[in-house]
Structure 1
Amino acid sequence: MSSRQSNLASALHNLDGRSYGNLKQIRGRYTFGPATVFIDRVQADPFASPSKVRVRVDRADAKFPLDLTTERADRIAASDYLLRSGNEVLAKLNQRALILGRPGQEILERTNILIDDTGFEARLLVNLPARGRRILGYQAADILTRDLPEFAERLFLFEHWSDARANQGGNAHAPSPRGLTDHVQLHRDQLELRSHLGEAELIGFVGNGAILPRTSGDSDLPMKSSDAVAFTSPPELEHTIDLSSGRSVSGMGIPRGVTVIVGGGYHGKSTILRALERGVYPHIAGDGREWVISDPTATSIRAEDGRAVTGDDISAFINNLPSGTDTRSFSTTNASGSTSQAASLVEAIEAGAQTLLIDEDTSATNFMIRDERMRALIPAEREPITPFVDRVRPLLTRQGVSTVLVAGGSSAFFEVADHVIALDAYVPSEVTNQAHELVGVTAADLESASPDLDPVAEPVRDTVPGSDSPTFSAAPRVPTAKALRPVSKTKTARAKGSDKIQFGRDFIDLIAVAQLVDTQQASGVAEALEYLAEIFDGRTALTDALTEVEDMLDAQGLDGITGHRDHPGHLTRPRRQEIAAALNRYRGLNLER
């Protein structure tokens, strides 16, 4: 036992039985052979948030392959692998007091494990033991001076890893050289395939053999392959992409444009849309959606009764209200279904979305369609809502925004669809010609209406008199300098689960933000809001502020968003779309007039 290790153990033994607040004495840095332990924060009492501890091993001691841990994208994948393996190591140690954090099915940038030029670091939370409010010093010493260093050596000393040991019992997350290599290579291949989407004019890809259904509605784990129908692309939409690794991936490519997915109830329409929602993120091997790859800006849009809206230009969808309200800068604390969906759509475009994902089951009917009989009964000039069916092609031709839409109860979108895909018991078929024949539209009609996405081309449907040039790109919204600095706010923003953020005395409801994957990502959004509070000065547009956050994250990583705190807690990087969604749902948001 080294002198520093002995000192920590002795200090904890001497604190045994004393008041819990005395544990603050152990803050500091301790060396245990190749591992260095940093005790950054000690909880105030046994019932407070856990203590924060880091353990680090230098690169020279870790001896990880440089070709797997040097490039930024590789470090994200390797850190993800170490996080999953680290939980397995803790299980082997039978250590429940140490908390590393458990990732979901996605491979994302997180703070739990850090790989940098000088070494490898695990950021853990630890519940230091107590009896009542008295320190259990001997148990704490075992955790911090025995189990934590052993955890670091098992996880970070690459030469101790063994493919043979990892294969015992078929444990996919036990650390092994082959496991790390495969994990990093899969991530590389997924990113490369995503880069091919734009080249091939695709906004989504679903690989043959994918298992899209989940075990249940409240689980993100894949259904057993024996119970699920593996995905097979229709021949007309099949693409094969050869990757530089030598891997060849075949599957259904979803072209840029308007794609409608139809089929009977429970036949897999919403399942494929949910997969495309999560396809903005890479996935681990065995998830079933490894080769479901979407446009990284793709954003799910739905109705959200009761949400707040601040200064949105929704005039392309809602205009000429009987009240005379100006919808070019519309605000409300209690949006209706149609208004909320219109607001979410224009906010998504403002945040950079080039693909919209919409399910009629979660949409406001009067926002989506208006049939011919209703149009005949209620003249267009008396109806304030221009339905999405009349705007979906102008969005494409004038903004370059594609749409993937699930429809089960109406054929209204057939005449504006570039592609129609029918699902029958999870098996897709390309039925565009049949759908167009039903509504008397041909592919030539669509092509002549939008040659090369000509910004002045007339859409097939844009039937509201006097509104043939809808505005989707409104004037930039500029938050006030104190937009995120309410007087009543005394604590930093924090996530309350994956669907809520406490911001001062307010709560931001994110339950409709479908592409947030877990509490750690919601925590990342909360930190981003704090960062935005420093940017807003009454002159910076919301979109420019989002870009500044994104650029900082690219340059400094997630640690940058916390001001490089020694232990930043457990965060997952959010997209700018989810940061914008939280900001837009904050009821205290104020804009410059």
Structure 2
Amino acid sequence: MVLNSCREMATSAIWNVTYRAWVTTFAPILISSSVPIYSVTLWGWVYNGKRDLCSIFFGNSMPMNSKNAPNIAEYAAKLDDGRYSEYSVLLGLRFGVGVECVVEFVHVQGSPGAFPASVVLVSFPWAASDSTAIDSRVACVAIEDYVLRVYQEGVEKHARQNRGEDGSGSFQLLTLSQEVLERNVVSVEDGMVCIKARISLPGTSRSPKILGDEFKAMFSDELAAVVEHVESEVDNLSRLRQHVEAVTVHARIQSELEQNDLAAFVGEGSILPRASGVSDLPLKSGEVALTVPDPLCVEIALDDGECVRGLGIPRGVTVIVGGGYHGKSTLLDALCRGVFPHVPGDGRERVVTDSSAVFVRSEDGRSVRGTDISCFVSDLPGGRTTDSFFTDDASGSTSQAASIVEAIQAGARLLLIDEDSSATNLLYRDEKARSLVPDDPIRPLIDTARSLYEEHGVSIVLVSGAISEYWAVADSVIEMRNYQPSDVTERARELVRDQEIVSGAIETEFCDTRIVDVSKLSAEYYAARQRISVTRRIKALRSQAKILEFGNDVVDLSAVSGVVDECQTLFIGYALYAFSQMGDFENESPSSLAVRFMEMVEQEGFGFIEELEPKWPLFVAKPRLQDLAAAINRVRSLEI
């Protein structure tokens, strides 16, 4: 084994030295000479698929000055009208673009319509280093998010898309949510900015040819203008600081919630309504800024001595009431998204929710794999027990019961529930219904809400416009009227003073004792129609960012409110793949798999996830462990 390892190391070293000589010396000479282009592409074909090119070729002394890199226009002229596959010569090469920018090709597509497209690293010096020092990981995430957004802003402003056929000749942008997420797309360190960008290289589709002039225009002209735009906006310290402040203040408030005995906080002046049911942008016309009356108002001190005022939602059981279209669900939706910071101008910058909060709803047809739902549902007809409940087609009540238990097992300290999307029989059963069907196996949440908080520390925020019985078990009742909150707790209690409260303890510790057979989490895909197998299929369904295609499984994450971005879906897919590939995840429950994996990400960063995909660079964003656990529990092929 040692001998084989030495042989592999020697072989790798020879390849690295040879290809480094090719990239740094021979390729530029050949490109600028009259040597046929097929000679130039030879080594690109041979070496295609090598990863981590920066470290392989240059180590830590990689030249970062664009003046030292060859001009991309010369390559464009030589490549023009060649076979599309000859783009492969670009793999690993570095070019100067503009004054200080260097571009390196780390993945080159094989055809005009190929997915994924080519990937380049765009690097340039970072000038705004004075008062915008990166003094925390939170600030770093904020700056990286800002750079990514102004890069995409620059592309939309300066680039012409679809210069070639089959969608080629395009800067392929990410669909960014309003939330600021930790990603592996931008890095800012040591005075340098590096952006990983997907760019589809221009070409024709029939007898695929390279469109050299369009290639030159994309990189020499448009990308240079985009980088200039990014540099200008990074130098715009006022805008940059505003972005960083929105993220760091959110983190500061979130860290103060527990000390202030709060489950959530909604800053005064927040704009909660959205532009439409299919847009997450703020409502611009007729916007209503939140005002908070004194009985509901709390103040949280920030590091600089400033105090922020807003609606404080206490820990315990909170019921949000109000008429239709007055903002009940709008407030709850904002709380769901408040686990993440938002970009400036969103209106929800100071909506801050307990970081572990989970929105739970009914999911008819959901797969449930051995979850203990006996605290909510007793034994079912046919002798079916519920302490290890399996089904491929859950009802509304059993699916929501499973989601509640799984969320608590994953560490959720706050449950967010809307009666409109819940199973009514799991929320409540009135006295006459109890009398008529005394042996109903479903134990409604109203019977256990107090126990969940007092014995297990799990708070509940429930939107309910029709179930007054919850007022009797609530610590706080908030009415929304014209999108404004008011405290109606005492009045609500007075109205239900004579109501008999049915309450009882939950006799479970919410321990996840299931053991996942990770060897059965296969990403291999078999296409029955074509009768072919693919080693890995891990991707979000096209135009469905919350549907994960994992092997032959389709994992529906539409009810997982913490998944707000396609890059999170991809992260989850490769986490599932890692469980079966890395050998470090045996004898674990779904919850502990999520905990251990997220701990690895915290310690090692995104690097080990990227190494799971040898074919092309990944674009991923970090979900919360509660969302990863929810995804694991929704894999239909999961074996316990």
CA 1:570–1:441: 2 relative to 1, 3 Å: farther
Query: Quick one: distance in 1 between partners of 2:483 and 2:241?
Result: 33
Counterpart position of 2:112: 46
Change (3 A) 1:339 1:472: farther
1:507-586 equivalences under 5 Å are 507-533=554-580, 534=582, 537-563=585-611, 568-586=617-635
Equivalent residue number for residue 195 of structure 2: 122
Instruction: Show the 5 A alignment for 1:28-177.
Output: 28-32=92-96, 34-49=100-115, 50-58=117-125, 62=127, 64-65=129-130, 67-96=132-161, 97-117=170-190, 119-132=192-205, 133-156=208-231, 161=232, 176-177=236-237
Give the CA deviation at 1:583: 1.1
Equivalent pair of 2:296/2:486 in contact (CA under 8 Å):
no
**1:419 alignment counterpart:** 476
Q: Which of the numbers 236, 242, 245 marks the counterpart of 2:301?
A: 242
Unaligned runs of 5+ in 1: 167-173, 446-459
Out of 484, 495, 499, the residue aligned to residue 546 of structure 2 is 499
Secondary structure in 2 aligned to 1:499?
strand
How far apart are 1:142 and its partner, in Å? 2.8
Alignment of 1:398-417 (within 5 A): 398-417=455-474
Alpha-carbon spacing, 1:440–1:107, altered in 2? closer, same or farther (3 Å): same
Q: 2:345 is paired with a residue of what secondary structure?
A: coil
SS of aligned partner of 2:308: strand
Q: Is the 8 A contact 2:610 2:618 kept in 1?
A: no
Q: Give SS of 2:517's match.
A: coil
The separation in 2 between residues aligned to 1:70 and 1:95, in whole angstroms, is 38
Hey, what does 1:270 align to over in structure 2? 329
How many angstroms apart in 2 are the aligned matches of 1:70 and 1:204?
A: 26
Superposition deviation, residue 248 in structure 1: 2.4
Cα deviation, residue 303, structure 1: 0.1
Q: Deviations over 1:222-256 (max 9, x none)?
A: 111x5122212232121012212343211110010
Shift of 1:264: 1.1
Deviations 1:243-295 (A, max 9, x none): 12343211110010000001111111100000000000111121111111000
TM-score, with length taken from structure 2 = 0.81
Identify which of 464, 484, 506 aligns with 2:521.
484
Report if the CA contact (8 A) 2:129-2:191 is conserved: no
TM-score by length of 1: 0.88
1:573 Cα deviation after fit: 1.3
Matches within 5 A, 1:456-475: 461-462=502-503, 468-475=505-512
The residue that corresponds to 2:387 in the other structure is 328
CA displacement, residues 174-203 of structure 1 (integer Å, 9 cap, x when unaligned): 861211122212222111111111100001
Q: Which residue number corresponds to residue 207 of structure 1?
A: 267
In 2, the alpha carbon distance for the partners of 1:277 and 1:72 equals 23
The secondary structure found in structure 2 opposite 1:68 is coil
Query: 2:405 matched to 1:364?
Result: no
2:345 to 275, 281, 286: 286
Structure 1 residue 100: deviation in Å?
4.4
AA matched with 2:539: R
Comparing 74-83 and 144-153, the one that deviates more: 144-153
Partners of 2:131 and 2:309 in 1: CA distance: 31
Aligned match of 1:302 in 358, 361, 366?
361
Amino acid at match of 1:462: S
SS in 2 for 1:206: strand
8 Å contact from structure 1 (residues 480, 536) kept in 2: no
Given the alignment, which residue of 80, 85, 92 partners 1:21?
Answer: 85
Verify the 8 A CA contact 2:363 2:400 in the aligned structure 1.
Answer: yes
1:487 Cα deviation from its structure 2 partner? 6.0
Matched, 1:590 2:631: no
Instruction: After TM superposition, give the deviation of residue 542 of structure 1 in Å.
Output: 2.7
Quick check: 1:52–1:569 contact (8 Å CA) kept in 2? no
* Corresponding position of 1:260: 319
SS at match of 1:5: coil
Question: Does the Cα contact within 8 Å between 1:535 and 1:545 map onto a contact in 2?
Answer: no
The code of the aligned residue for 2:588 comes to T
Deviation of the 1:564 alpha carbon = 8.4
* Aligned-partner Cα distance in 2 for 1:563–1:441: 63
Task: Write the distance in 2 (CA, Å) between the matches of 1:234 and 1:405.
Answer: 21
Q: How many residues align?
A: 550
Q: Helix, strand or coil: the match of 2:627?
A: helix
8 Å contact 1:207–1:249 — kept in the other structure? Answer: yes
Rate the CA distance shift 1:34–1:2 in 2: closer, same or farther, 3 A.
closer
CA spacing shift, 1:2–1:432, aligned 2, 3 Å: closer
Q: How does 1:371-390 map to 2 (within 5 A)?
A: 371-379=430-438, 382-390=439-447
One-letter amino acid of the structure 2 residue matched with residue 134 of structure 1: K
Mapped partners of 1:487, 1:89: distance in 2:
38
Distance 2:147 2:523 in 1: 40
Rounded to whole Å, the distance in 2 between the matches of 1:441 and 1:31 is 78
Unaligned runs of 5+ in 2: 1-65, 162-169, 526-533
SS state at 1:231 partner = coil
- Contact 1:559/1:568 (8 A) holds in 2: no
- Pair 385,580 (structure 1): closer, same or farther in 2 beyond 3 Å: same
In 2, the alpha carbon distance for the partners of 1:144 and 1:188 equals 35
Shift, 1:556, TM fit: 3.0
